[in-house]
Amino acid sequence: MTEHYELIIYEKKDGVATITLNRPKVLNALNSSILKEIWDALQDAEADESVRVIVITGAGDKAFSAGADIPELLEKSPFEARTYSIWLKDVLRYMERLQKPIIAKINGFCLGGGLELAMACDFRIASTNSRFGQPEVNLGIIPGAGGTQRLTRLIGRTKSMELNMTGEHYTAEEMYQFGLLNKVVPPEELDNATNKLIKSLMAKSAATLGIIKLAVNKGIEMPLEEALFYEAECFGIARSLEDAVEGLKAFLEKRRPEFKGK
Ligand code: HXC
């Protein structure tokens, strides 16, 4: 199914909603309009019970996204730029609390706001030709949607400082070594690798995956004692699901569980 979107391609098939950023001529730069469409598509994907996994990728063979739309950034007043930054932050926060796994399928340049978008996903699989960085410093600005924050949490202060202050590009292999990526594969294997992950996720209880996602994403923001307590609460909720009874019984009956997401 394809909706009325203009700057993204939004497709839903076999339980997977795919959002393809579709401005390849400008390396899928993120302007306000595309952000609005991403937001709409995410809300649809969250509400649609048939959707189990969300994939975000870029059109063309050159970029996932080269970041915020630079001409638009120049047009905006500082106040409007602040509003854009807050809006982008809200979309990315929504991605982190939406209770379905989101995979960034990275197929080229993944820079600035593009990297920030990828970092708000739950998984990042990249092709070997991908290039990463927070080049905002070269434009005389700073990352405005998590580049100084999520990146630090994901790869640590040492490398985050380096990426943010040098604005250099890094290879997929380097980013894998830093801990940013789940997997790096040749471009021709990107679909397969993503599908393999989707298949693994599809075999789980959708409800349980949602609880794990919140436990990880909310827990990391808490002091350890509270986080562990929150995990125990999440554990209780997971155990209360029909799927927990099914999973535990299936193990004892030496069969595959049939989860229903309830
Ligand atoms: C708008 C962009 C763009 C961007 C590239 N283009 N990046 N347009 N916004 N972020 C356009 C180019 O102007 C060009 O258009 C076309 O895409 C192809 O790009 P080229 O530069 O010709 O390609 P190439 O030589 O291969 O270089 C690729 C590149 C380079 C290394 C990725 O384009 C680049 O450095 N882009 C900027 C990356 C960046 O600084 N991103 C951070 C943005 S700030 P024409 O019309 O000339 O063909 C940001 C802040 C986020 O993300 C937080 C906000 C709150």
* CATH number of this structure's domain 2-202, picked from the four choices 3.40.50.300, 3.90.226.10, 3.40.50.150, 3.10.180.10: 3.90.226.10
Q: How far is CA 215 from CA 45, 84, 234, 257, in A?
A: 21, 29, 7, 23
Cβ of 111 below 6 Å from ligand 1: yes
Between strands 63-65 and 131-133, the pairing is unpaired
The answer to whether the CB of 147 falls within 8 A of the CB of 117 is no
Query: What's the gap in Å between 255 CA and the centre of ligand 1?
Result: 52
Domain with CATH 3.90.226.10 in the chain: 2-202
pTM of the model: 0.97
pLDDT digits (tens, 9 = 90+) for 169-227: 999 999 999 999 999 999 999 999 999 999 999 999 999 999 999 999 999 999 999 99
Q: Is the CB of 210 under 6 A from ligand 1?
A: no
Beta bridge partners of 21: 8, 58
Q: Residue 256 CB: number of other CB atoms within 10 A?
A: 9
Nearest 5°: the CA angle 185, 156, 147 is 80
User: 206-252 maps to which CATH number?
Assistant: 1.10.12.10
Q: What is the pLDDT of residues 28-68, one digit of tens each?
A: 999 999 999 999 999 999 999 999 999 999 999 999 999 99
Query: Any idea which residue has 């730069």 for tokens?
Result: 29
Active site amino acids: 116, 136
pLDDT in tens, 94-118: 999 999 999 999 999 999 999 999 9
Q: Is 29 left (phi over 0), alpha (psi -120 to 50) or beta?
A: beta
Distance CA 122, CA 74 (A): 31
**Ranges in the chain annotated CATH 1.10.12.10:** 206-252
**Residue 27, phi then psi, degrees to nearest 5:** 55, 40
